[in-house]
Structure 1
Amino acid sequence: MARRRILSLWFPRLGAERLLRRRNDTLPPPFAVVGDRQGAQVLVSVSAEAEALGLGPGQGLRDATAICPHLMTASEDPASEAAFLAALRRWAGKFSPWVAEEPPAGLMINLTGCAHLFGGEEEVLGVVEADCAGLGLTVRAAVADTPGAAWALARHAGRAMQGNRSGDAIEQEAHATRSRASRRRTFAPPSGGPLGLISAPGQLRAALEPLPVAALRLSEGTAQSLARLGLRRVGDLLDLPRASLARRFGQEVIRRIDQALGLEPEPVSPAGAPLHFAVRLTLPDPIGLREDVEAGLDRLLTPLCDRLKEKGRGARRVRLQAFRSDGQVPAVEVGLAQATCAPERIRPLLALKLDQIDAGFGIDMLRLSAVETELLTGASGKGRGPAGRPAEALADVVGRLGARLGAESVTRLHPAESHVPAKTALVLAAAWSEAAGPWPEPPGRRPLILFPPEPVEVAGAPPHRVCWRRRERRIVRAEGPERILPEWWLEEPDWRSGARDYWAVELEEGERIWLFEALGGLVSGGWWVEGEMA
């Protein structure tokens, strides 16, 4: 059985170089990406020019600008950096089908049985570094028998020891801009080379011994505790009794040592390919009439829904793109209130928006894609239409309204756990929420319409006259009081007037209102109307 070979790639300046790689400056200015760490603005990634001036990740922004007043900065964007790392993972698929991301700036590649396709491991590293040079990225690469060893060599080989912190200074760095693999050599144990590191098969211990203990992927606290006791290199740990090491520092240290040495298996788990549902129709001649677009849509919906049905998924958002002969691509997109794979439930929503597509000089191709999908449950998506299940009929109505008004504009009420009348219901988007079951019974009578409290003048106790909206009215019947206390664990400005006594009263004209007396708290009380009864 062939010995496993793992390639670890680390992009130490990924955040900064992601933003700088499209610039064409001959001498780019010092640049850094700034992020918030525990309320402080610190550098999280710096360019090579900024690093040459003494700046580095973890440094405060104020200190950095004092050292380099002309430092250019940009805010951290974790989502964009994660998307860029995912794009690099897809690029690394050219070397092996087993590629895993090591956030925030690394990749792990199972190179077993693949290196010979490029002429060997040295040639693989040459291709990696040449590609990264074309992308404007700095890369540090290492090949070893285990993921732990490859990770350690890529990030810590060639680093100097400084005080009690192991591996914080870089003595040598493998820049992606260096030349190809003709000067690379294989070392056992490896040393910092100009392009990358290759650990000879079966020489893991010799490769790991000179590295700092942080190379074992230990937590920062554990690494500092080891350093305070003088255990600064991996070799210092390998000579200690395992039982006493585990008793003093926990199983984390033992587990990381075993993973690095290959005593405990550590698979490289690649990210699965995302589900992709899209179909297209190439037309022999350009079309421009709405009827032709509808006919093309009918031909695309059936195969798209068949693919969704094969995977047991339903579309929640569908996009129709029209590729025009002049290069423009107008598109319409609709959201569905319920995931479905039934063409007759998707087509009416798209038909509502077809007038937004400008055919221009003609449409050469139509593309229909399900950009958001969900697993289908129960009988959803079977296409019974309004005559079928009530839930599906309601979902179709919500979808039609959402196509015209916007999905967030169609809302529904959902019960909430609160005894405060104004907080007993939540307003949720109907397209992204489930209908509530039976509502809990209120402890007393509740109004049909609630509105912000309006001040009134009341005579008597129980009240028999009320002056509301500039009209004095006689109360013919009053039910109450029902005392409701504020939620003491929350700061509610509307409840600073203390507890309330609620009354359901009927006026002489037949109106029924819900009024309350605030008993006083941080502010003085009074009488108010908060709703109208049925």
Structure 2
Amino acid sequence: MSNRRILSLWFPRLGAERAIRREPHLDRTPFALVREVGNAQVLASLSPRASAAGLSRGQPLRDAHAVCADLVTRTEVAHRDAAFLGALHRWAGKFSPWVAPEPPEALVIDLTGCAHLFGGEAALVAQVETDCADLGLSVRAGIADTLGAAWALARHAGGGAGSHRSGDAIDQEARATRSRAVKRRHWERGGAAPTAPAPTADAASRIATVGQTHGALAPLPVAALRLPAETVEALARLGLRRIGDLSGQPRAALARRFGTGLVHRLDQALGSAPEPVSPAPPTDRFAVRMTLPDPIGLEDDVTAALDRMLPQLCARLERAGRGVRTLRLEAHRTDQSMEWRHVSLARPAHRADRLRPLLQVKAAEIDAGFGIDMLRLEAIRHEPVHARSTVGHLDAGRAVSDRLRAGAGLDDLVGRLGARLGLEAITRVHPAESHVPEKSALILAAAWSEPARSWPRRASRPLVLWRPEPLGGAEALDGSVAPARLRWRGRDLAVVHAAGPERIAPEWWLDDPDWRTGLRDYWRIDTDAGERLWVFFAHGAALSPGWFCHGRFA
């Protein structure tokens, strides 16, 4: 048995209580979060009032409304619950540096060598419950030598293992079996042996003494071993309802009948099989806020507050070697409402002079309402930024030129345009690996792509392309000779100059409907009307004259 001590924290109402923190009035009525499962809606998380009304998790919503007519529901937002669990992950770091999340609503903490700092394990659990009560959260804690035992104590300590009766009526059994059933001891019919202690619901029952894991787990139901529901039901039919009932059974028979998963979970809980705690470091968060003594409503006041907050945020980013990519400005109003704006950059940066102009644009869009009493800046997306050496006055001009040459000026321009139009609206063209004219270039967002270093040398292409339009009046029978006259868009045009042909074949490995006409011979022609067109002869066109116009040169 190892000397580890594991703390398991289970938040059984995490989603509902997170929503109540945002909307406190929901605590005055039965409330639940709803999740889509197939074509039905089921209850995902319940408030204490909803549980007191007789509702349960996984219950269909229509049945829940039949039981509790005044039930209030909201749709479950998984990513918000995950973000809230991440915040609790950071809070749990005060008890131990070895914290691992257990989605969707639990944390695992390795307390080895840390409990004495809080006055012992009982005092530590009391501190956890006090902190969670201040946050408005329900929590169940369990401490044991193994992760599986702590998990079981946090969720099942203080509860029973169910009735010893299987649920079948006695008159369903054979007559001879009925005569012997009365003589059987009740624990042989699936009940608990009289020597098993009755579990208590106090906090002490959820802390297993060092080296006493087996005794702490014995009275708990077999579901505490993290077994599938079908395995728990199969064990219950055999009268094996408590973990203590499994300990005395032949392991080979259990593995043969229920698989090795049951034996493995039992070994993990008792410490015979290793189950390490893999801590995940909490994500870096960079945020600053300013609480104002009096509400403000002028744009100049908001800008003055940003001038105080932004240097602090940039200093934290610079020390961590990070640059903000998306920044969120939150304005909390006196009526408990909040309005936010996002600012995105083409390149990550931690310099205040690059962020301030973008924030100033967004600050002008915020509606102050009855007044703003708190402002908050948070870097919701950040990336590593390589350190750069500073230069003196002699090299300042050269550094500015190098910076502009490197594209920093273009990045600032993209950021300012994106603040008004959206970064998705700022695009650039990149070469593509295709000889087909329509696929020779890619349109990418300028903020998330680098400028093209070079373009492949190809024959001249028109600036404007459209779907091929049939041409009439062309006398040439094939693409080896350019037509002398043609009719395009209702006009008869005479060809004064022609250059070509350029043969382009379709991509045979793709079935492109626009290229089912086969090989094309392209010509660049000048007409007497001043039009410079890009036309081609399709060798596989069966139901057309064969000549088409594909684009126009500038």
Q: Normalised by the size of structure 1, how large is the TM-score?
A: 0.69
2:175 corresponding residue in structure 1? none
From the superposition, tell whether residues 458 and 108 of structure 1 become closer, same or farther in structure 2 (CA, over 3 Å).
Answer: farther
Equivalent positions of 1:64-463 (< 5 A) are 64-65=64-65, 71-93=71-93, 95-96=95-96, 98-112=98-112, 115=115, 120-129=120-129, 132=132, 136-157=136-157, 158=159, 160=161, 191-193=199-201, 197-218=206-227, 234-235=243-244, 236=246, 239-241=249-251, 245=255, 249=259, 256-263=265-272, 264=274, 266-267=276-277, 269=279, 271-272=281-282, 274-276=284-286, 297=307, 307-317=316-326, 334-341=343-350, 372-377=381-386, 384-388=399-403, 389-415=405-431, 421-439=437-455, 446-452=461-467, 454=469, 456-457=471-472, 459-460=474-475, 461-462=477-478
Cα distance in 2 for partners of 1:244, 1:115 equals 37
Q: Indicate conservation of the 8 Å contact 2:8/2:109, yes or no.
A: yes
**2:279 partner letter:** S
Q: Distance in 1 between matches of 2:359 and 2:266?
A: 58
Pairing 1:468–2:488 present:
yes
C-alpha contact (below 8 Å) 2:10/2:107 kept by paired residues: yes
Residues 190 and 199, structure 1, Cα contact 8 Å, conserved in 2: no
Residue 531 (structure 1) shift: 2.8
Q: CA 1:192–1:403 in structure 2 vs 1: closer, same or farther (change >3 Å)? A: same
Report the CA distance shift for 1:242/1:341 in structure 2 as closer, same or farther (over 3 A): farther
Q: Distance in 2 between matches of 1:201 and 1:6?
A: 11
Show the counterpart of 1:512: 533
Q: What is the Cα deviation at residue 130 of structure 1?
A: 5.3
Contact residue 46 and residue 56 of structure 2 kept, 8 A = yes
Is the contact between residue 279 and residue 300 of structure 1 (CA under 8 Å) also seen in structure 2? yes
Kindly state the Cα deviation for residue 78 of structure 1 after the two structures are TM-superposed. Answer: 0.5
CA distance in 1, matches of 2:341, 2:27: 43
- Return the alpha-carbon distance in structure 2 between the equivalents of residues 136 and 348 of structure 1: 40
Instruction: Confirm or deny: 8 A CA contact 2:299 2:363 kept in the other structure.
Output: no
Q: Give % identity.
A: 46
Give the distance between the partners of 1:526 and 1:486, measured in 2 at CA: 20
| Alpha-carbon spacing, 1:222–1:330, altered in 2? closer, same or farther (3 Å) | closer
Separation of aligned partners in 2, 1:16 and 1:295 = 35
Q: Distance in 2 between matches of 1:418 and 1:258?
A: 59
Q: Quick one: which amino acid aligns to residue 501 of structure 2?
A: E
* Larger CA Rg, structure 1 vs 2: 2
The whole-number CA distance in structure 2 between the counterparts of 1:242 and 1:472 is 92
The 2-side partners of 1:95 and 1:67 are apart by 41
Instruction: State the Cα distance separating 1:338 from its structure 2 match.
Output: 1.8
Distance 2:134 2:376 in 1: 33
| Pairs aligned (count) | 501
Note the aligned Cα RMSD (angstroms): 5.6
TM-score (norm 2): 0.67
| Matches of 2:200 and 2:433, distance apart in 1 | 62
Indicate if the aligned counterparts of 2:161 and 2:242 stay in contact, CA closer than 8 A: no
Please state whether the residue corresponding to 1:484 is helix, strand or coil: coil
Deviations 1:204-261 (A, max 9, x none): 12223444554333566877888899876545277544799499845x6665444423
Which letter does structure 2 place at the counterpart of 1:506?
I
Q: Partners of 1:241 and 1:162 in 2: how far apart?
A: 25
Change in 2 beyond 3 A, CA 1:528/1:208: farther
Instruction: Map 1:12-23 onto structure 2 (within 5 A).
Output: 12-20=12-20, 22-23=23-24
Distance in 2 (CA, whole Å) between partners of 1:74 and 1:280 is 31
Change (3 A) 1:488 1:26: closer
Q: Distance in 2 between matches of 1:62 and 1:355?
A: 46
Deviation of residue 104 (structure 1)? 0.8
Q: How far apart are 1:398 and its partner, in Å?
A: 2.4
SS in 2 for 1:202: coil
CA deviations over 1:410-432 (Å, ceiling 9, x no partner): 21224456676444544332122
Give distance in 2, aligned partners of 1:341 and 1:26: 42
Residue pair 2:535, 2:549 contacting (<8 A) in 1 also? yes
- In the alignment, the residues of structure 1 paired with residue 117 and residue 62 of structure 2 have an alpha-carbon distance, to the nearest angstrom, of 50
Aligned to 1:482: 504
- Shift of the 53–343 alpha-carbon distance from structure 1 to 2, 3 Å rule, reads closer
Distance change in 2, residues 1:403/1:12 (3 Å): closer
Q: Kindly state the Cα deviation for residue 511 of structure 1 after the two structures are TM-superposed.
A: 0.3
Name structure 2 gaps, 5 residues minimum: 167-195
**TM-aligned CA deviation for residue 160 of structure 1:** 3.8
The C-alpha deviation readout for 1:452-508, integer Å capped at 9, x for no partner, is: 55565464543734433332324553535534258757xx8xx38944554344142
CA change 1:28–1:318 in 2 (3 A) is closer
Q: Are the aligned partners of 2:161 and 2:220 in contact in 1 as well (CA < 8 Å)? A: no
Q: Deviation per CA, 1:391-410: give whole Å up to 9, x if none.
A: 33432332343345433322
Letter of the 2:282 counterpart: G
Q: How far apart, CA to CA, are the structure 2 residues paired with 1:281 and 1:10?
A: 33
Change (3 A) 1:124 1:379: closer
1:114–1:2 Cα change, 3 Å: farther
Please report how far the alpha carbon of residue 149 of structure 1 lies from its aligned counterpart in structure 2 after TM superposition: 0.9
Cα distance in 2, alignment partners of residues 59 and 315 from structure 1: 43
Going from structure 1 to structure 2, the CA distance change for 1:518 and 1:72 (only over 3 Å counts) comes to farther
> How far apart in 2 are the matches of 1:446 and 1:148?
68
The alpha carbon displacement at 1:273 in A equals: 6.1
Distance 2:374 2:66 in 1: 57
The offset of 1:374, in angstroms, is: 1.4
Q: 1:290-332: CA deviations, max 9, x gaps? A: 89979995x98777655444332233345789999xx999998
Residue type at the aligned position of 1:35: R
Residues 387 and 393 in structure 1, CA contact (< 8 A), matched pair in contact too: no
